[in-house]
Amino acid sequence: MKKIMLATIAGLAILLSGVHASRAGTIAPDLEEALAAAGPGEKVPVIVSFSDKVDLTLFQEKDKKLKRSLIVKTLRDKAEKSQKELNAFLKDAGIEDAVTLWAINALALAADAGLVELLAGWPGVESVRLDATISAPEATTGSAPASPAEGNITAVGAADLWGLGYTGSGIVVAAMDTGVDPNHQDLSGKWRGGTNSWFDPNGEHGSPYDRTGHGTRVMGILVGGEGGGTVIGVAPDARWIAVKIFNDAGQASFSAIHQGFQWLLDPDGNPDTNDAPDAVNNSWGFEQNPNQCNLEFQPDVQVLKSAEIEVVFSGGNTGPYPSSSVSPANYPESFSVGAVDGSYAVAPFSGRGPSACGGGIYPAAVAPGVGIRSSDLTYGGAFPGSYGNATGTSFAAPHVSGLMALLAGAFPCATVSQVEDALKGTALDLDAAGPDNDSGYGFVNGFAAYDALSQSGIPAGTDADGDGFFAEGGSCGPADCDDSDPSVHPGAPEVKHDGVDQDCNGYDLTIDILKAVYTASNDGLGVEAASGLGSRAGLELAGYGPMRWDRKKAKWTISVSPAGGNPGTVTVSGIEGSEPAMVVSDGGGGTGGSEGTGKTCSDGKDNDGDGLVDCADPDCAGNRSCR
């Protein structure tokens, strides 16, 4: 069967090659070169992009949680619909290795020349390109002495923010890197833990691990504690999660990086939970190709930024010459960070602008990046107090990511753009007056950025009960109607008839469904409900329409026929909320839905569909048969 399907693929490819001019998608030059170098039938890794994209500008919700959820759901739905037919075809052809990159509406798989032609000709396909690889970065070493303990942390204003009570508590940061050593004394207790806090797209490690130490050093600067006697991290009380995009051989495929960005949008796979990080540090880039604009990961960065997630990139160790920017740091959406030494001089190795992607200022700003003390590999926990000095823009970037984490804690209602503008607008100007292509907007200072945000009128975001909802409302999202009780907030489960408005919709839930009966004989559905709001409740039966207020009986009713079968459950909704109930079937042998009169209390039937028969039904209490 497999041979037949492969023959079918080959035949389709030949057919499509005859209409090359009308092919739906393009085949990238690097893929054509790889196929030319491959042997007959040899497969190469490819990424198939679809042309149908989500318009991210449509998501204008002020509530970050709702915005992220809607973006993830929309991206997943778009990818599922666009890729459905091709995925089915590939599965029938025995191709099981295709990976859906729903965040950018693409597929990653291995394909030979014939299949590549077929993919490029598939309706809706925009392009087929090589799933290339990128090498893991290494620290630039030098003879410069280590910065004084906490000197780099103090210099960027982090300690001043700690003094105000902002240490990163309640904030989650992420790193896309070589991994993280979880056994280090400054990192072990700060991993968020669980199945939504570590991702290895290469499938090598099911829990946090780092072979080279690069990612461990980065994370130490982000969240490291004081196990070694001094605080080494900018946001020491933040929690961390990580994506090990580089395999143990030090290589990362483009598709692995795409999967990493995608995972960060929705770590647990449930868009209704808010477990995405507040800031993502990326100390990697195309350093082997400076002054080029490689847009491979721009859609990923755009999606994360639209979901109000900060995205920081190291500016690259490609200096000292002008026009040495690197992608993805040089995307307009990225916050690129260069390195300075202890004297605030831009390090010779730090990449310079202008940006190859549009000619803008590059880097965005600079931070300490020479001789930075941070956590190092513990070699399986043998040396949990291992530290080292690191040099490179890789270690300047987490200073900025850490400051963004502190500011997210201070101003949870601020947008990513507002935080970035505050950091750039208050940076210490270095070199030539104004923004330049050596130090960008200057040397970052988190405390100065805090002052700017405070004076801008952005609400600080009061969350006294720690339930994730803020008293101010407005740009902070839906207001918490009782910030002293963590069980009361928008969307909280309601407790009926307790006089408390748990979900902050302005009402206690008082809806009671008195009856929900399906009669098979006439395909009829009858529902009765009551509410403490009486005629003001505005009840309706979800999926069927408004209910009618019966003033004499003081209840809401609706009868639907034909009902289209027994729905199993129904939900009655109104201004106070909604209430579900199971539907009882009378089997078609009832007497119209009444119980308690005549022989209905002695006929052995559940006439009103409440699950109770004859005298067991309270409706029959006054009936002669039950006295």
Cα dihedral 219, 225, 231, 236, rounded to 10, equals: 70
Q: Which of 394, 401, 439, 573 is catalytic?
A: 394
pLDDT of residue 1 exceeding 60: no
Residue 3, pLDDT score: 44
Block residue for tokens 């490690």 = 205
Listed in sequence order, the residues at least 6 apart from 376 whose beta carbon sits closer than 8 Å to its beta carbon are 184, 213, 216, 217, 220, 386, 387, 388
Convert 557-569 into a string of H (helix), E (strand) and C (coil).
EEEECCCCCCCCE
SS3 state of residue 387: strand
Instruction: Please state, for a pLDDT cut of 70, what percent of the chain lies above it.
Output: 92
Residue 475, pLDDT score: 66
Residue 502, pLDDT score: 94
Confidence label for 222 from pLDDT (cuts 50, 70 and 90)? very high
φ, ψ (nearest 5 deg) of residue 255: -65, -35
Q: Which residue has the higher pLDDT, 623 or 3?
A: 623
SS3 state of residue 493: coil
Residue 13, pLDDT score: 46
pLDDT tens track for 63-115: 788 899 999 999 999 999 999 999 999 999 999 889 999 999 999 999 999 99
Strand partners, 570: 581
Residue 20, pLDDT score: 40
Residue 17, pLDDT score: 43
Strand partners, 46: 109, 130
> Angle of helix 397-410 relative to helix 446-455, nearest 10 degrees?
30
pLDDT tens track for 122-170: 999 999 999 999 999 975 544 344 544 479 999 999 999 999 999 999 9
Residue 18, pLDDT score: 41
Spatial separation of the C-alpha atoms in residues 346 and 566, rounded to whole Å: 72
pLDDT of residue 333 exceeding 80: yes
Whether 56 and 77 have beta carbons less than 8 Å apart is answered as no
Q: Which of 63, 177, 482, 501 is catalytic?
A: 177
Whether 279 and 368 have beta carbons less than 8 Å apart is answered as no
φ, ψ (nearest 5 deg) of residue 612: -115, 140
Spatial separation of the C-alpha atoms in residues 46 and 110, rounded to whole Å: 6
pLDDT of residue 237 exceeding 60: yes
The C-alpha angle 622, 606, 569, rounded to 5 degrees, equals 120
Spatial separation of the C-alpha atoms in residues 51 and 62, rounded to whole Å: 28
pLDDT of residue 586 exceeding 80: no
φ, ψ (nearest 5 deg) of residue 556: -100, 140
- Please say if 184 is a catalytic residue: no
The C-alpha angle 413, 328, 112, rounded to 5 degrees, equals 125
Q: Which helix (H) or strand (E) element contains residue 27?
A: strand 26-27
Strand partners, 365: 337
How far are the Cα atoms of 211, 540, 583 from residue 564, in angstroms, in the given order? 60, 18, 14
Q: Which of 214, 258, 399, 489 is catalytic?
A: 214
Whether 314 and 397 have beta carbons less than 8 Å apart is answered as yes
pLDDT of residue 293 exceeding 50: yes
Q: Which helix (H) or strand (E) element contains residue 373?
A: strand 372-375
Residue 608, pLDDT score: 66
Q: Which helix (H) or strand (E) element contains residue 266?
A: none
Listed in sequence order, the residues at least 6 apart from 155 whose beta carbon sits closer than 8 Å to its beta carbon are 368, 443
Spatial separation of the C-alpha atoms in residues 221 and 368, rounded to whole Å: 11
Spatial separation of the C-alpha atoms in residues 240 and 401, rounded to whole Å: 12
- Sorted by where each starts, the structural domains of the chain and their CATH numbers stand as 2-131 (3.30.70.80), 151-455 (3.40.50.200), 510-589 (2.60.40), 597-627 (no CATH)
Q: What is the DSSP string of 159-176?
A: HHHHHTT-S-TT-EEEEE
Spatial separation of the C-alpha atoms in residues 434 and 28, rounded to whole Å: 40
Instruction: Please state, for a pLDDT cut of 90, what percent of the chain lies above it.
Output: 79
pLDDT tens track for 12-41: 444 444 434 345 679 999 999 999 999 999
Residue 337, pLDDT score: 99
pLDDT tens track for 361-373: 999 999 999 999 9
Residue 143, pLDDT score: 38
Residue 474, pLDDT score: 66
Confidence label for 585 from pLDDT (cuts 50, 70 and 90)? confident
Residue 594, pLDDT score: 65
Block residue for tokens 């720690």 = 466
pLDDT of residue 620 exceeding 50: yes
pLDDT of residue 8 exceeding 50: no
- Please say if 214 is a catalytic residue: yes
pLDDT tens track for 415-456: 999 999 999 999 999 988 999 999 999 999 999 999 999 999
> What average pLDDT does range 300-320 have in this prediction?
98
Whether 580 and 511 have beta carbons less than 8 Å apart is answered as no
Whether 345 and 314 have beta carbons less than 8 Å apart is answered as no
Instruction: Please provide the average confidence, as pLDDT, over all residues in the chain.
Output: 91
Burial of 60 (0-12, 13-18, 19+ CB in 10 A): exposed
How far are the Cα atoms of 164, 279, 449 from residue 454, in angstroms, in the given order? 13, 20, 9
Sequence-ordered alpha helix ranges (H) in 234-335: 254-265, 298-306
pLDDT tens track for 494-540: 999 999 999 999 999 999 999 999 999 899 999 999 999 999 999 99
- Please say if 394 is a catalytic residue: yes
Token output for 185:
């004394």
Token output for 430:
């270095």
- Indicate the pairing of strand 310-314 with strand 335-340: parallel
SS3 state of residue 347: coil
